[in-house]
């Protein structure tokens, strides 16, 4: 059950605009945090990129559970290391 303050706050047009702006800022910060240092230090080869794309497709297009995506990505990383 939301607090009474939030019910009134969410109905205001100006508050909705502020929340959309905050949401956009958070998405931008998360994107920047994913890119540097995570992406730049982990995606070094075309094989790494392929595993990242496969994980993205599994999550977005096929709606696979995150735990399955982690397992598939880990298995792909092990296979790349063995090759």
Q: Do 31 and 9 share a structural domain?
A: yes
Q: 63 and 33: one domain? A: no
Do 3 and 35 reside in the same domain of the chain? yes
Long-range contacts of 79-83 (CB under 8 A, 24+ apart): 80/45, 80/47, 80/48, 80/51, 83/47
Cα end-to-end distance, the chain, whole Å: 53
Kindly state whether residues 55 and 82 are assigned to the same domain.
Answer: yes
**Confidence category of residue 1, pLDDT binned at 50, 70, 90:** low
Instruction: Report DSSP state, residue 61.
Output: T
Of residues 38 and 67, more confidence is placed in 67
Q: What is the mean pLDDT of residues 24-47?
A: 93
79 lies in the same domain as 51: yes
Residue in 41, 44, 39 with CA at minimum distance from that of residue 81? 44
Q: pTM, whole model, 2 decimals?
A: 0.68
Looking at the structure, do residues 12 and 36 belong to the same domain, yes or no?
yes
| Same domain as 31, residue 20 | yes
For the chain, what is the domain count? 2
Q: If pLDDT is split at 50, 70 and 90, which confidence band does 2 have? A: low
Range of the domain at 53: 43-83
Angle among Cα 69, 34, 73 to the nearest 5 degrees reads 20
pLDDT tens readout for residues 36-61: 998 999 999 999 999 999 999 999 99
């Amino acid at each position: 059950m939301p607090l009474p303050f939030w019910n009134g706050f969410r109905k205001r047009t100006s508050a909705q605009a502020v929340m959309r702006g905050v949401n956009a800022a958070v998405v931008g910060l998360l994107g920047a945090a994913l890119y540097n240092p995570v992406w730049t230090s982990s995606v070094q080869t075309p094989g790494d990129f392929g595993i990242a794309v496969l994980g993205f497709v599994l999550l977005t297009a096929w709606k696979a559970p995150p735990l399955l995506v982690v397992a598939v990505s880990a298995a792909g990383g092990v296979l790349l290391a063995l090759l």
